[in-house]
Amino acid sequence: MKLTEEDVKFRYIEPNLEKSGWKKKQIRKEHYFTDGKINVVGKKVKQEEGKKADYILLSERGEIQLAVIEAKDMTHTLGAGMQQAIGYAKILDIPFAYSSNGTGFLEHDFFTGREREISLEDFPTEEKLWQRYLNGKELQGFGEMISEPYYYPPFGAKNPRYYQRIAVQRVLEAIAKGQKRLLLVMATGTGKTFTAFQIIHRLWNQRKVKRVLFLADRNVLIDQTMQKDFAPFSKVMTKVRDRTLDSAYEIYMSLYHQLTGDEGEETFRSFQPDFFDLIIVDEAHRGSVREDSQWRRILEYFSSAIQIGMTATPKETKYVSNIEYFGEPIYTYSLKQGIEDGFLAPYKVIRVNIDKDLEGFRPYAGQVDIYGQVIEDKEYTSKDFDRKLIIDDRTLKVAQRITQWLKRNGRFSKTMVFCVDVEHAERLRQALVNENADLVRENEKYIVRITGDDEYGKSQLDYFRDPFEKYPAIATTSELLSTGVDAPTTRLIVLDKIINSVTEFKQIIGRGTRLYKDLDKYYFTIMDFRNATRLFADEQFDGEPISVYEEDPGKPPKDDIDQEDNGEETETDETPSHLKKYRINDINVTILSEKVQYYGRDGKLIVEDLVDYTKRNILNEYASMSDFINKWNKADKKTAIIEELYEHGVLLDALRDEVQTDYDDFDLILHIAYDKEPLTKKERVKKVREKGYLEKYSGICREVLDSLLEKYMDGGIKEIEDTKVLEVQPFTSFGSPAAIAKLFGGRKGYLEAVRELNNQLYLAV
């Protein structure tokens, strides 16, 4: 009964696994399968501990995860770890879960739903679990096909993450059963192309498929894929050029239009329909799923091939459906799950409200624009600005607000600015240049326009994507950067276009979700000028795709399709044919207000005012000020209370950042929750010194405590409660941490002196 959990593992579990024939390379011990959610509070980042299984057992064939085991010490019952094991097994898609306290095992079989107790000596062999796996999956006879090993590069091995393993395995097993249309839904930044590579490699390496076609709709996506994830295929891979097909290769990378032809001549029909065995459709949410599209006809022509659609945003509207063509997603890994697991960066939102966007604009009778043309009399709103009506001062105010953020958060923060169209992207580029002329003078590439019609801008794309390239830092764009462009250090995404499509919104947001810890990129900011971030609340934003496709609805009007795809209205006959846009420069625009929203612990944006949100959560824990102060005074470590409040949604650092104050945590709580007039940290230190409290100490002890007060003024209570503070100046000049503690009679005496100092700081409430 005195044995610890580690003793149980070492003495009982591991020896009996080995007796049952499990090899060490098949046993993953203390296996972290998530990185741990990243929480952003103000500008501070805190990463939670990842999810960790005590043991995961792998088959020798293809590293298929067969079982998860959770261990407990002998004070627990045999099944005490079962709920945890089941939870992990469901996440990891593992069919057998076990709990053990060292006296035996409790087994949960997901295929049968039954549980049974087994002795330590009777733990199933790998062969037994493998056969039960094949039986449960109805895959008898396909063991070899589904167990081809993953590809690991010779240097810097990139191990597949747990969700990538699930995606690969589900695809292989579905193909083994004869399924030929499959859909994978994986959030942007979670490695769709790496997953596609592993699927192709495992099928191609065992010659289940010989010729593979990878389809995309943008050159940058093809080039990016060939240079990165598909690089191991370099000797057998080619990019289709000039609509010719060299049959000497086996992996073919192609743009859709290279196979359809410019004039609809359907070049793909010059190839045999059975030429390809496998087709991967990248970004399958776009035109490839429209029933009457040329892209769709490519897929239907090569209908004998296995076809896998991959997307972050399955498209389900009245007229367009991924699910109708590919079937229900075989696996979904969402943005929310990626953030919860710590694989994707969370975000905060700054909603900027401009007066003309909220109030609208109507010209006075006979008002003319800068071209001398009479402006059509109508109410112009946010959806019209920069599309039908250009207000120069609005462009200026947007550029000034972006620049203000950059000056506070880093002038070289990689920034994507999404505009209404190419012309808007150029105007905003010019406005940003003028607001940042000091840096543009040093290098004109500081700000560039990257749009499909600009060869210079497109030539800078690789430099913009490169985390270690300083220039360009800011890119204005309309559509080109919205999908598939991997720029992992993007820290600011600016939305200055109307977005009604959840699909488009998710793609744009996905540009910022990649983590890049080597350069301290843990989160990103969305600056929204057109209320596009309302779509975070849309039930389709992070939910399972629901098919709303109607069979044979009749060909929809083009306007309807455009609205589904772009969230834009089309021009009408009422718009003067000789005029594309009006432009005015004599109207002043004002930013009325801003609202900062944070990614909450429940995976949703905190939509209410941060002050109200913080106050409500504090009062939920401490109904009165006396309740809070009593708890504070009794606490050995005040930071423990702050940590506890943080777990309940009290975001003090975020609040401090928003209201631009430097109050101590204690005073901020009293002020926000109980309307108590706060003291500054400097005032609290002054009171301690004026009372002569430090005079009870002498020599170095007094200097140490006085230096702790200085540290408190710099960083708050966290600074002085952490003993690591003794490892930095000025404390290192007093001696080592152990030597300093000895001056106080030892570690216990030092900690007691710090506690007393804390109490003195908070006597004046």
Give the DSSP H or E segment for 707.
Answer: helix 699-715
CATH code of residue 554: 3.40.50.300
Q: Which residue in the block uniquely carries the two structure tokens 């249309």?
A: 181
Alpha-carbon distance of 72 to 78, in angstroms, equals 8
Same domain, 710 and 572: no
The half-sphere exposure of 402 on its side-chain side, counting CA atoms within 13 A, is 35
Query: Residue 184 belongs to what domain range?
Result: 148-333
Please report, as a single letter, which amino acid is at residue 499. Answer: I
Residue 729 lies in a domain: yes
Q: Which tokens go with 207?
A: 């010659």
Alpha-carbon distance of 632 to 758, in angstroms, equals 10
Q: Which tokens go with 273?
A: 């329909």
Same domain, 356 and 303: no
Residue 597 lies in a domain: no
In this prediction, residue 560 carries a pLDDT of 30
The highest-confidence range among 2-6, 101-105, 641-645, 731-735, by mean pLDDT, is 101-105
DSSP letter for each residue of 566-609? HS-PPP-TTS-TT-S-EEESS----EEEEEEEEB-TTSSB--S-
For the CA atoms of the chain, what is the radius of gyration? Answer: 31
Residue 491 lies in a domain: yes
In this prediction, residue 555 carries a pLDDT of 38
Beta bridge pairs of residue 68: 56, 97
In this prediction, residue 502 carries a pLDDT of 85
In this prediction, residue 355 carries a pLDDT of 95
Band (546; pLDDT cuts 50, 70, 90): very low
In this prediction, residue 311 carries a pLDDT of 86
Same domain, 272 and 359: no
Give which of 534, 525, 517, 505 is closest to 598, Cα–Cα.
525
In this prediction, residue 605 carries a pLDDT of 77
Residue 724 lies in a domain: yes
- The residues near 641 (Cβ < 8 Å, ≥ 6 apart) are 631, 632, 635
Residue 630 lies in a domain: yes
Alpha-carbon distance of 298 to 532, in angstroms, equals 34
Summarised one tens digit per residue, pLDDT across range 590-609 is 999 888 787 777 777 776 67
Please report, as a single letter, which amino acid is at residue 2. Answer: K
Same domain, 361 and 486: yes
Alpha-carbon distance of 530 to 514, in angstroms, equals 24
CATH code of residue 56: 3.90.1570.30
The stretch 684-692 carries a mean pLDDT of 90
Same domain, 329 and 352: no
Band (636; pLDDT cuts 50, 70, 90): confident
Same domain, 276 and 356: no
Q: Which one has a higher pLDDT value, 214 or 545?
A: 214
Same domain, 481 and 356: yes
- The residues near 174 (Cβ < 8 Å, ≥ 6 apart) are 182, 330
Beta strands at 237-239 and 251-255: parallel, antiparallel or unpaired: parallel
In this prediction, residue 421 carries a pLDDT of 93
Same domain, 132 and 170: no
The half-sphere exposure of 675 on its side-chain side, counting CA atoms within 13 A, is 0
The stretch 99-115 carries a mean pLDDT of 97
Residue 465 lies in a domain: yes
Residue 596 lies in a domain: no
Taking CA atoms, 167 is separated from 193, 308, 333, 614, in Å, by 12, 12, 9, 40
In this prediction, residue 482 carries a pLDDT of 67
Same domain, 508 and 630: no
Summarised one tens digit per residue, pLDDT across range 343-379 is 999 998 999 999 999 999 999 999 999 999 999 999 9
Cβ distance 313 to 503 under 8 Å?
A: yes
Cβ distance 716 to 682 under 8 Å?
A: no
Same domain, 115 and 38: yes
Band (464; pLDDT cuts 50, 70, 90): very high
Q: Which tokens go with 194?
A: 């790496």
Length of the chain: 765
Taking CA atoms, 624 is separated from 341, 531, 631, in Å, by 36, 38, 11
Q: Which one has a higher pLDDT value, 187 or 573?
A: 187
Residue 749 lies in a domain: yes
Show which of 99, 125, 144 is a domain's final residue. Answer: 144
Same domain, 26 and 155: no
Number of domains in the chain: 5
Residue 604 backbone dihedrals phi, psi, to 5 degrees: -120, 155
* Predicted TM-score (pTM) of this structure: 0.80
Show which of 302, 333, 364 is a domain's final residue. Answer: 333
Same domain, 369 and 489: yes
The stretch 722-743 carries a mean pLDDT of 91
In this prediction, residue 264 carries a pLDDT of 65
Give which of 172, 540, 112, 177 is closest to 331, Cα–Cα.
172
What's the chain's average pLDDT? Answer: 87
Cβ distance 11 to 102 under 8 Å?
A: yes
Show which of 650, 678, 706 is a domain's final residue. Answer: 678
